[in-house]
Amino acid sequence: MLRALIIGASGYAGAELANYLSHHPEIEIAGLVVSENSADKNKLLSNNDLYPQLKGKVDLPLIGSSDYSTLGHNIDIVFLATDHAVSHDIAPYFLQKGCVVLDLSGAYRVNQAEFYTSYYHFTHQQLYWLSQAVYGLAEWNAEKIKQAQLIAVPGCYPTAAQLALKPLLTEKLLNTNYWPVINAISGVSGAGRKANLKNSFCEISLQAYGLFSHRHQPEIAAHLGQDIIFTPHLASFKRGIYETITCQVNQGITRDDILTVFNNYYAHKPLVRVYSEGYPALKSVIGLPYCDIGFELDQQHLILIAVEDNLLKGAAAQAVQCMNIRFGFNETLSLL
């Protein structure tokens, strides 16, 4: 059994990680950790105030600590479901201890120090580990993930966008002079669990935010190798990502060409489902670890639809998928 630690376990993604790992036959949860100042410390994760749906499944206490040397020995895997500033600082501690670290924040997603200066507004201090980090887009980087010690799990918006666009760009079906336009809608859980009036269910109305300034835009562009226009929206539903992506294909490309490319890339990728007709809806993926992709073509105008659960394929499920790949397990173990 491999021993895994989850730091940031009381957040939405952290709780989903705990749920998946609780029934993983190769993993023992060594500890669930929160900040020493957290109001949740010493509570069970399955407490009525937290995640009562986990009663009988994950009845483990939340350890409030910032002294990671006290969290036990023989830790093999560390999941960081933490803010990027926290992940930036603590990932090296566990990496130096020989742990495999899966970071769900943005702290190590792009191997360029200037990216963090420009878009996260801080100077990255861990340049060695930044250079070593492998981007955990599981369907595309499996060979690198198998060798990685630090896996930077992609953001929820970038996962859906890249899974939809990468096959078409790789096979040169798209006119790259026409920047793909990504209109993306997220449920409120994407903003995290901390109380905030702006995220109160009664306050939320469908609204765009972060125009030309959202951090996921350069993450998507960097890993696609393609300029894009990305507009995120917050909507009044709990969870899910719904992306409508408008592109232009090269002259002569047909609907069958597009479907063939998707099937060639994803026929043996169990967590990506391609629709041969019709379009996916959020209800297709909520509570499930899939990204579903549909499309429609009219002359050279292509519209892609990509949907996922932001807490699962957009966070916890992809992290577990990467862990499975890294340690040679079936990549869907405990996910399906």
Burial level of 123, CB count in 10 A (0-12/13-18/19+)? Answer: exposed
* Kind and range of the H or E run holding 12: helix 12-22
Q: In terms of Cα–Cα distance, which of 236, 242, 233 is closest to 283? A: 242
CA distance 95 to 151: 11
Q: Does residue 322 have an active-site annotation? A: no
CA distance 30 to 43: 16
Q: In terms of Cα–Cα distance, which of 227, 183, 182 is closest to 207? A: 183
Active-site pick, 156, 247, 291, 322: 156
CA distance 296 to 322: 31
DSSP secondary structure string for all residues of 165-203: HHHHHHTT-B-TTS--EEEEEE-GGGG-SS--GGG-TTT
Output phi, psi for 319, to 5 deg: -65, -45
Token pair for residue 322?
């990467």
Coil, helix or strand for 26?
A: coil
Distance of CA 236 to the CA centre of its chain: 21
Give the active site residues.
156
